[in-house]
Structure 1
Amino acid sequence: MPPPRRRRPPPPRRPRWPIRRPRRHPPRRQGARGSAELPSFAAFGALGRALATRNARIFFGGSMVAWTGLWMHRIAVGWLAWELTHSAFWVGIVAFSDLAPAALISPVAGAVADRLDRVRLTTVAQGVIACEAATVATLVATGQMRLEYLVALELASGTAASFLQPARQTLLSGIVPRADLPAAVACNSLVFNVARFIGPALAGLVIAGFGVAPAVACNAAAYTLALISMHFMRVDPAHRRGHPSTGSLWGEVREGLDYVRRHPGLGPLLGYAAMIGVLLRCVQELLPPFVERNFAREAESLALLTASFGVGALVSGVWLTARGRLQGATRISIMSGLAQAIAIAGFAATGWFPFGVLCATLIGASASLHGISTQQLAQTAARPEMRGRVLSLWGMITRACPALGALILGAAGEAFGLRLPVMVMVALALLVFAWGLSRIKHIEASLEVPPG
């Protein structure tokens, strides 16, 4: 007899209702210190990544307060120098006093920022700036301010700022992941330009209603608050110091200069930025003579023009922050020099104030594009142990080069008026742009490497 057939078990009955399978959520993104990214920032793309950690929000909040006070201080001191002297040359000297110390101190300050605790160095420098602003406000309020006092105090503030810049900027790598560093650099510049818009507007109102002293006193209060905010940050010890001291301070300064000089991308990029800073950035330091001589206006118009620079810078900063990537930054840095030269030529040539405001907005936008993209490239390309020294050179360029240009333009303005010297500087800047354009491919190949 054949063996009995085995019956196959009936297939399982499928339920008539849909089965809900558990969703697999992607892991929450970790910040610089392991804190999870906040969901509310996810919709903002690169800006959200830059603000994802508690440290970043404290850092950028303190920066906003400090820089708002700084712009109020700059407007007030520039107007005070013009009231004391009515000389474009002496306004240039006061601007030079604030910015020039970077020429001598920045390379040393960068080496110091790589050796010392950056949080403590930032705190001390902010305290010095707050004390300087309080002293200026007191002397003005009591009627004891003299031009030589103002120059000496601005020299002290500029010296402290030369140490503050590399110390504070190098902390960015410790509050965001390396992949988000370009977005954090753009966010940092965005905060600066928001303050550049708010600060002058507040300064114009305060100066018109209460005088110079209260506007400067606001800067003292702002830097005091920024100083206090540093105590709430929790920065990993690995990011508080670049490296232990390995030799003499001067030897490390020379090492940083040689590193930039020999780098195939950083050397030409920072050289281009230095020449543009001397020839074009100086116009923003001599606004009081432009306001009174070219436009025949008062302090309120000075604040409006400075705020216009801030509006342009803010728009371009928002765009670069949302862009959030490194590729194309070299082309933006070089081409923005051409745009800045054209806008400055229009600003110097006109006597019609509305057109001057438009040109000021374009100057602010192009200068912001140049500054943010250059800093993105420098921050990302520099080796960690060299980052403080590289950023100190960038700080020297952004402070000492405009100071030198302001000194030259102020002296030439006394002899020839402001329009002719500005046009000569614009023509020289066009030659610099042609040189930068010829080097653009080599710089791109060296610097535009995606961060790991």
Structure 2
Amino acid sequence: MTTSAPDDANAPSDAQSSLVRNRGFQRFYGTRVLSSLAFQMLAVAMGWHIYALTHSAFALGLVGLAQFLPMFLLTLVVGHVADRYDRRRIASTCQVIECAAALTFAAGTVGGWLSAPLIYALAACVGAARAFESPAVSSLLPGVVPRPQLPNATAWSTSANQTANIVGPALGGLLYGLGPSHAFIACTIAFALAAVLSGTIPLRAKPPSRAPVTLESVFSGIAFIRSQPVILGALSLDLFAVLFGGATALLPVFARDILHAGPIALGLLRSASAAGALAGSIWLAHFPLRNRPGMAMFGGVIVFGFATIAFGLSHNIAISLVALAVLGASDVVSVVVRTSLVQLRTPDEKLGRVSAVNSMFIGTSNQLGEFESGLTAGWWGAQPAVLVGGVATICVALLWMRFFPALRDTRTLEREETPRATASAN
């Protein structure tokens, strides 16, 4: 009895050490960093280039729409592919396609033939590749680390994304300032390295078996989510919150016309939210959400809304950077809770299809949110559009607390036994 306390006290550090030494997780972490780094650099370069060509906020929204449509249309297909084939090969193939798109951007800027329609077409190509890549990579993690380490690994995986989201936009803005082709060439290299790492991740379990394709199996991911009010509530809350509150598509407008800065400042603005998210994800990796994760998610979304309002009101770049950092830190709570719920409450044989629907929700909130922001900014102006979005985000969080009491009252990330099941077990 007297010797158990030190062992318990050392358990978190032992788990952290085991996770760090896991060769599969090292490569998984590396591919997440490199792929996210490349995508963020590409987003900055595409955004600045299309705005420089068109001087239109609506054109920025069209880039987001071009990325969203393939993700939405391919949702059912990509989930089934992730559950039937080697997820490592899927991820690697998608990153090779993204590498080719970035190389085309580089050649187009050097040759001077990169037009707005071509940018939309390449954005759609990248969106289609990421539609397959996202569920494949997300559903890889349970095969890389033991189940008890999943929440911790999810937080560190989120920190990998956020690290790339900090470095990527800043580096993309800096390289674009030196010359547009520099940013696109860096994206090409990063995507290529990510593809190599993805294909060599060792798995603890065999790749998923190739089950026969039926209409029921294709829609089983959606059916499973509908049967789980906690997961449905978490996904839909994140979807509508970021759909209304996302201001990232308008950052080129804020950087150039409101804050009167250049592409390097645009990179810093895109990095600020990721810096806050990185700090939040590192905190959650060391201090996981063990009690009332649903309420933590609702609190994070409400703070996200207030931070969006603060950013929309700001004319000072320092205040804008702080507001975006708070926005990122609050958003990561929602990301970690949502991802952990999906991974811990979904059977592995359905994880690819459920992750695909999850990715579609994320894509809807991000890419379609960019289109919504560009559209409303074209109607009302950039600042009113962001302010309305922040208010709408807070309203969504308050409404969802009433619509999804199961999420609000959930006590743990793991599946909870119903009282009837507990009684029968006793």
Normalising to structure 1: TM-score of the pair? 0.85
Tell which deviates more after alignment, 220-229 or 159-168: 220-229
Q: Is the 8 A contact 1:93 1:407 kept in 2?
A: yes
Instruction: Spell out, residue by residue over 1:233-290, the C-alpha distance to the aligned partner (whole angstroms, 9 max, x if none).
Output: 222453x21x432332x43231211111121211122111111121112x11221011
Is 1:90 aligned with 2:54?
A: no
Tell which deviates more after alignment, 320-329 or 187-196: 320-329
Match of 1:54 in 2: 23
> Residues 304-323 of structure 1: matches in 2 within 5 Å?
304-323=268-287
Task: Write the letter of the residue equivalent to 1:72.
Answer: M
Q: What is the rounded CA distance, in whole Å, between the counterparts of 1:45 and 1:220 in structure 2? A: 38
CA 1:346–1:445: 2 relative to 1, 3 Å: closer
Tell which deviates more after alignment, 302-311 or 327-336: 327-336
Q: Is the 8 A contact 1:277 1:397 kept in 2?
A: no
Q: Percent identity?
A: 24
Match of 2:424 in 1: none
Match of 1:223 in 2: 191
Q: What is the rounded CA distance, in whole Å, between the counterparts of 2:14 and 2:52 in structure 1? A: 46
Is 1:377 aligned with 2:331?
A: no
Structure 2: gaps of 5 or more residues:
417-426
Match of 1:6 in 2: none
Task: Write the letter of the residue equivalent to 1:213.
Answer: S
Match of 1:261 in 2: 226
> Residues 124-273 of structure 1: matches in 2 within 5 Å?
124-209=93-178, 211-238=179-206, 240-241=207-208, 243-248=209-214, 250-273=215-238
Q: Secondary structure at the match of 1:232?
A: coil
Q: Is the 8 A contact 1:42 1:48 kept in 2?
A: no
CA 1:369–1:178: 2 relative to 1, 3 Å: same
Q: What is the rounded CA distance, in whole Å, between the counterparts of 1:265 and 1:295 in structure 2? A: 41
Is 1:120 aligned with 2:120?
A: no
Q: What is the rounded CA distance, in whole Å, between the counterparts of 2:101 and 2:323 in structure 1? A: 33
Q: Is the 8 A contact 2:64 2:368 kept in 1?
A: no
Q: Is the 8 A contact 1:47 1:187 kept in 2?
A: no
> What number of residue pairs does the alignment pair up?
411
Q: What is the rounded CA distance, in whole Å, between the counterparts of 2:273 and 2:15 in structure 1? A: 24
Is 1:290 aligned with 2:259?
A: no
CA 1:74–1:64: 2 relative to 1, 3 Å: same
> Residues 31-46 of structure 1: matches in 2 within 5 Å?
44=13
Is 1:330 aligned with 2:294?
A: yes
Instruction: Spell out, residue by residue over 1:304-340, the C-alpha distance to the aligned partner (whole angstroms, 9 max, x if none).
Output: 1112112101100101111235433222222111001
Q: What is the rounded CA distance, in whole Å, between the counterparts of 1:131 and 1:312 in structure 2? A: 31
Is 1:350 aligned with 2:314?
A: yes
Q: Is the 8 A contact 1:50 1:187 kept in 2?
A: no
Q: What is the rounded CA distance, in whole Å, between the counterparts of 2:415 and 2:375 in structure 1? A: 45
CA 1:100–1:367: 2 relative to 1, 3 Å: farther
Cα offset, 1:358, TM superposition: 0.9
Instruction: Spell out, residue by residue over 1:384-410, the C-alpha distance to the aligned partner (whole angstroms, 9 max, x if none).
Output: 111111111111121122222222221
Q: Is the 8 A contact 1:200 1:306 kept in 2?
A: yes
CA 1:383–1:327: 2 relative to 1, 3 Å: farther
Q: What is the rounded CA distance, in whole Å, between the counterparts of 1:168 and 1:86 in structure 2? A: 36
CA 1:100–1:336: 2 relative to 1, 3 Å: farther
Structure 1: gaps of 5 or more residues:
1-22, 28-40
Q: Secondary structure at the match of 2:21?
A: coil
Q: What is the rounded CA distance, in whole Å, between the counterparts of 1:326 and 1:167 in structure 2? A: 27
> Residue 274 of structure 1 is aligned with which of 228, 233, 239?
239
Q: Secondary structure at the match of 2:74?
A: helix
Q: What is the rounded CA distance, in whole Å, between the counterparts of 1:103 and 1:315 in structure 2? A: 31
Q: What is the rounded CA distance, in whole Å, between the counterparts of 1:389 and 1:202 in structure 2? A: 34
Q: What is the rounded CA distance, in whole Å, between the counterparts of 2:272 and 2:26 in structure 1? A: 26
Task: Write the letter of the residue equivalent to 1:270.
Answer: L
Instruction: Spell out, residue by residue over 1:74-111, the C-alpha distance to the aligned partner (whole angstroms, 9 max, x if none).
Output: 11111111111111000111122123322221232112
Task: Write the letter of the residue equivalent to 1:223.
Answer: F
Match of 1:400 in 2: 364
Q: Is the 8 A contact 2:158 2:336 kept in 1?
A: yes
Instruction: Spell out, residue by residue over 1:98-130, the C-alpha distance to the aligned partner (whole angstroms, 9 max, x if none).
Output: 233222212321121011121211111111111
Task: Write the letter of the residue equivalent to 1:255.
Answer: S
Q: What is the rounded CA distance, in whole Å, between the counterparts of 1:424 and 1:234 in structure 2? A: 46
CA 1:407–1:325: 2 relative to 1, 3 Å: closer
Q: What is the rounded CA distance, in whole Å, between the counterparts of 2:14 and 2:277 in structure 1? A: 20
Q: Secondary structure at the match of 1:51?
A: helix
Of Structure 1 and Structure 2, the greater helix share is in: 2
